[in-house]
């Protein structure tokens, strides 16, 4: 690597390479493997050095003057190649329940097949960016667009060989993360800090969209092979499945993501005999990472495909076969990881939606439409969602908070580890706090997430942000209330009962105060009006090695019916109508939850129909801008979109407000779109043959699937 001309280029103030890193040259969250600047480039687009200049343009010009010669090695780029060469980032995992082989042999019906789901680029509106200001004593103030300030702090401290107390990371809010800033933001914050250190100036690093997409990891694509045995009713008796994922060059979060795929291979279905082999393929592509659903959706797509296949082979309505395989309430309620399901509302949601969407009559009219129309075909499908909530890594299920009430006006300042990324967590936490203090929402401010206010935070992820951080904030409030209560009781000689906080008034037995006057009085009497708070999720435990335990505090349930239309001459497709019924428990903020359900669904539909990441055989990504990578636009929304929150929803567990999160689960409602497309394709062969279709169902794939089907007729 010859950087002479780069260094001399106009406006350049610093160039950093691996030799500028005195500490850990890695940003890997669990295992090493994600070098900041590598000794050996392992994927196309991997950063090797960075430049600071007076202007962005000068920096971009300078970078191009580098002379780099590579010795080309033979890359492994696909899952199949990696499986053949046994190229893995971690050891394979095998999970077992009952005797699948025997159960399949003894079944009256058997099927086998293979299935893939594709990768997905996060495409947050705000890309990867960081801004670092050097402070006194070689300290650094780091502004990072990240879902994980605490780990950003640790990564930078280790890179600089400095203590964590010299690095402060602050995140006001981010323009979307979707899992793409859980770890993938670290390298940019780290490089930006290196440049700030070398220049002794504030430095901002904001990636060009193409570079952003080229450098960072995406959703894991998955390949599965299955063998299933089932009875004449379509009830699964035994299932053997091989699940392989493309992890890229390093483990990053792949272990937890594959684990979540294994934990959701059942979706809503009781599996009596199961054998899963899971391979974490190492490929010479950017290291794949967290993405809304976190592997759960990939596991669920695999089982949905199997159920759909079974229904087709029995010539039955898939809606019926799905329901027949559901977990039940009193029996058939133990998962393959030995967790008893105690909050099952799947049947209620499913049955209500089948009715409210007129699924059955529409199914008939779609069949009639298809008989009359040669080129345009319609399809319909209903799919269920059951998604487990909690980090499967036990210790991450904790959160902290810091709450101050200011003495002069009673306004409330809240800080937690929660990152606002558009999902509305700051609004929801402010609501919870305001409600707990009986105050108007406008009296509460949630400030920027900062590592020097609340330390050792978990990533805002796993849909658990508000559950954890909201509970920690309420814990802080309860401590302040205890201080207030102790003072009031002492001062006014009140014996029993606690204060009731409502409409700006605090009522004790026989005495009530305006909130503001109470706060002022408490201050003048030297009562602390500030507290930290903490929360750790109860009940959960999981033995990763034996794959047994209770990894989740609760489950989120939902179902969707989608109707699609395809053009059999071009493969073009659109969603005509989607009906969703989703369980948000006792929703904290229904408008936000509806937004999450709609957004999650559309993002899932993008994953399953139009977003396609492509690589050349040498591992070079070819889909790195909106001109080659298509994400859903407003016009791709279902023409009719009926989204409803399940009215009877209530979290049976002790979760804030008895609510259920809506962060990730709605993404999986989009499975209905994929199987509706498959249903439309099947109509081309009068439903006699099962179409071969992998996700994403792009127009090309739909056309090829129709082509194959026509050859069978
Ligand atoms: N919604 C918006 N608008 N932007 C996002 O980045 N991320 C999703 C989901 N919804 C995301 C979003 C992901 S991946 C997760 S894990 C959750 O929000 C995180 O927020 P929560 O824990 O508050 O649900
Ligand atoms: Mo979400 S994939 O857990 O950031």
C-beta 271 within 6 A of ligand 1: no
C-beta 181 within 6 A of ligand 2: no
pLDDT band of residue 2 (cuts 50, 70, 90) is very high
C-beta 404 within 6 A of ligand 2: no
pLDDT at 26 over 90: yes
Q: What is the pLDDT of residue 574?
A: 97
pLDDT at 99 over 90: yes
Ligand 2 site-directed mutation target among 220, 461, 468, most atoms within 8 Å of CB: 461
Distance from residue 463's CA to the centre of ligand 1 (Å)? 6
The tokens for 578 are 């989607």
pLDDT band of residue 510 (cuts 50, 70, 90) is confident
Report how far apart, in Å, the C-alpha atoms of 444 and of each of 129, 203, 438, 511, 703 are. Answer: 29, 33, 11, 25, 55
What are the tens digits of pLDDT across the range 273-305?
999 999 999 999 999 999 999 999 999 999 999
For range 161-171, the mean pLDDT: 98
Query: Of the bound ligands, which one is closest to the alpha carbon of residue 556?
Result: 1
For range 23-27, the mean pLDDT: 98
| Separation of alpha carbons 598 and 622, rounded Å | 29
pLDDT band of residue 198 (cuts 50, 70, 90) is very high
**Per-residue b/e over 391-425, b at no fewer than 16 CB within 10 Å?**
bbbbebbbbbbbbbbebeebbbbbbbbbbbbbbbb
Find out whether 52 and 59 touch, Cβ atoms under 8 Å: yes
Q: What is the pLDDT of residue 81?
A: 98
| Separation of alpha carbons 680 and 686, rounded Å | 10
C-beta 667 within 6 A of ligand 1: no
For range 128-134, the mean pLDDT: 98
C-beta 297 within 6 A of ligand 1: no
pLDDT band of residue 713 (cuts 50, 70, 90) is confident
| Separation of alpha carbons 386 and 556, rounded Å | 6
* Cβ count near 520 (within 10 Å): 17
Partners of 230 in beta bridges: 109, 236
Query: Of the bound ligands, which one is closest to the alpha carbon of residue 178?
Result: 1
Cis peptide before 123 (omega within 30 of 0): no
HSE of 300, CA atoms in CB hemisphere, 13 A: 29
For range 589-609, the mean pLDDT: 98
C-beta 464 within 6 A of ligand 1: yes
DSSP state of 220: P
Ligand 2 site-directed mutation target among 145, 171, 182, 288, most atoms within 8 Å of CB: 182
Atom of ligand 2 nearest to the CA of 291: 2
Report how far apart, in Å, the C-alpha atoms of 82 and of each of 4, 78, 136 are. Answer: 38, 6, 49
Atom of ligand 2 nearest to the CA of 461: 3
pLDDT band of residue 245 (cuts 50, 70, 90) is very high
Q: What radius of gyration, in Å, describes the C-alpha atoms of the chain?
A: 27
Considering only CA atoms, which residue is closest to atom 4 of ligand 2? 179
Atom of ligand 1 nearest to the CA of 181: 6
- Cα 508 to the chain's mean position, in Å? 44
DSSP secondary structure string, 136-151?
GGG-EEEEE--S-HHH
Find out whether 224 and 244 touch, Cβ atoms under 8 Å: yes
Find out whether 575 and 563 touch, Cβ atoms under 8 Å: yes
Find out whether 323 and 347 touch, Cβ atoms under 8 Å: yes
Ligand 1 site-directed mutation target among 432, 663, 666, most atoms within 8 Å of CB: 663
Sign of CA dihedral 569, 116, 285, 613: positive
For range 637-648, the mean pLDDT: 97
pLDDT at 149 over 90: yes
Q: What is the pLDDT of residue 73?
A: 94
What are the tens digits of pLDDT across the range 556-585?
999 999 999 999 999 999 999 999 999 999
Atom of ligand 2 nearest to the CA of 294: 2
C-beta 461 within 6 A of ligand 1: yes
* Of 132, 160, 138, 165, residue with least CA distance to 150: 165
pLDDT at 459 over 90: yes
Dihedral (C-alpha) 638, 387, 217, 27: value to the nearest 10 degrees? 150
pLDDT at 12 over 90: yes
| Separation of alpha carbons 285 and 651, rounded Å | 41
Q: Among 224-233, 248-257, 489-498, 567-576, where is mean pLDDT lowest? A: 489-498
For range 355-381, the mean pLDDT: 98
Distance from residue 158's CA to the centre of ligand 1 (Å)? 28
pLDDT at 497 over 90: no
Distance from residue 663's CA to the centre of ligand 1 (Å)? 5
Has 4 been annotated as catalytic? no
C-beta 551 within 6 A of ligand 2: no
For range 136-141, the mean pLDDT: 98
C-beta 294 within 6 A of ligand 2: yes
């Amino acid at each position: 690597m010859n950087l002479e001309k780069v260094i001399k280029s106009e406006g350049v103030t610093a160039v950093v390479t691996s030799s500028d890193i005195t500490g850990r040259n890695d940003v890997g969250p669990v295992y090493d493997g994600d070098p900041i600047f590598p000794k050996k480039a392992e994927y196309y687009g991997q950063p090797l050095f960075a430049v600071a200049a007076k202007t962005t343009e000068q920096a971009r010009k300078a970078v191009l003057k580098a002379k780099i010669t590579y010795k080309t090695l033979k890359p492994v780029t696909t899952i199949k190649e990696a499986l053949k060469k046994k190229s893995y980032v971690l050891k394979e995992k095998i999970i077992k329940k009952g005797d699948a082989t025997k159960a399949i042999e003894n079944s009256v019906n058997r099927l086998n097949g293979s299935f893939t789901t594709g990768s997905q680029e996060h495409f947050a509106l705000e890309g990867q960016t960081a801004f670092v200001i050097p402070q006194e004593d070689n300290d650094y103030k780091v502004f990072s667009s990240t879902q994980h300030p605490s780990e950003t702090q640790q990564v930078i401290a280790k890179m600089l060989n400095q203590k964590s107390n010299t690095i402060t990371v602050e995140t006001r809010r981010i323009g979307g993360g979707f899992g793409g800033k859980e770890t993938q933001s670290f390298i940019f914050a780290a490089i930006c800090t290196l440049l700030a250190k070398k220049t002794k100036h504030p430095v901002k690093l904001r990636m060009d969209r193409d570079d952003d997409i080229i450098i960072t990891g995406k959703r894991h694509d998955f390949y599965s092979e299955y063998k299933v045995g089932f009875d004449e009713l379509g009830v699964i008796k035994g299932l053997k499945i091989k699940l392989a994922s493309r992890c890229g060059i390093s483990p990053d979060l792949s272990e937890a993501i594959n684990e979540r795929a294994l934990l959701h291979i059942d979706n809503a279905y009781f599996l009596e005999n199961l054998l899963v082999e899971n391979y974490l393929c190492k490929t010479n592509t950017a290291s794949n990472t967290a993405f809304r659903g976190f592997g759960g959706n990939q596991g669920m797509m695999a089982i949905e495909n199997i159920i759909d296949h079974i229904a087709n082979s029995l010539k039955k309505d898939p809606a019926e076969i799905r329901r027949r395989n559901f977990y039940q309430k009193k029996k058939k309620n133990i998962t393959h990881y030995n967790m008893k399901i105690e909050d099952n509302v799947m049947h209620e949601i499913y049955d209500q939606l089948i009715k409210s969407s007129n699924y059955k009559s529409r199914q008939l009219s779609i069949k009639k439409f298809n008989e009359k129309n040669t080129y345009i075909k319609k399809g319909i499908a209903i799919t269920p969602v059951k998604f487990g909530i909690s980090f499967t890594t036990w210790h991450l299920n904790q959160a902290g908070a810091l709450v101050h009430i200011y003495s002069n006006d009673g306004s409330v300042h809240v800080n937690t580890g929660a990152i606002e990324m558009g999902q509305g967590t700051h609004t929801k936490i402010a609501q919870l706090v305001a409600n707990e203090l009986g105050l108007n929402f406008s009296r509460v401010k949630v400030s920027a997430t900062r590592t020097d206010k609340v330390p050792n935070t978990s990533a805002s992820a796993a849909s658990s942000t508000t559950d954890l951080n909201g509970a920690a904030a309420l814990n802080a409030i309860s401590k302040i209330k205890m201080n207030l209560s102790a003072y009031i009781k002492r001062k006014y000689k009140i014996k029993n009962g606690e204060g009731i906080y409502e409409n700006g008034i605090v009522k004790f037995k026989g005495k009530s105060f305006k909130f503001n006057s109470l706060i002022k009085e408490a201050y003048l009497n030297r009562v602390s009006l500030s507290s930290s708070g903490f929360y750790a999720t109860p009940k959960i435990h999981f033995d990763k090695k034996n794959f047994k335990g209770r990894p989740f505090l609760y489950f989120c349930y939902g179902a969707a019916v989608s109707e699609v239309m395809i053009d059999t001459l071009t493969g073009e497709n659109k969603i005509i109508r989607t009906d969703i019924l989703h369980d948000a428990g006792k929703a904290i903020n229904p408008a936000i939850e509806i937004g999450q359900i709609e957004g999650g669904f559309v993002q899932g539909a993008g994953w399953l129909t139009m977003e396609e990441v492509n690589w050349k055989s040498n591992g070079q990504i070819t889909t790195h801008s909106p001109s080659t990578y298509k994400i859903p636009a407003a016009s791709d929304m279902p023409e009719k979109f009926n989204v409803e929150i399940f009215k009877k929803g209530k979290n049976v567990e002790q979760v804030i407000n008895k609510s259920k999160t809506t962060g990730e689960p709605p993404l999986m409602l989009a499975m209905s779109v994929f199987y509706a497309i498959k249903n439309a394709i099947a109509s081309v062969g009068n439903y006699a043959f099962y179409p071969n279709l992998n996700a994403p169902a792009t127009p090309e794939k739909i056309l090829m699937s129709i082509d194959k089907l026509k050859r069978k007729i």
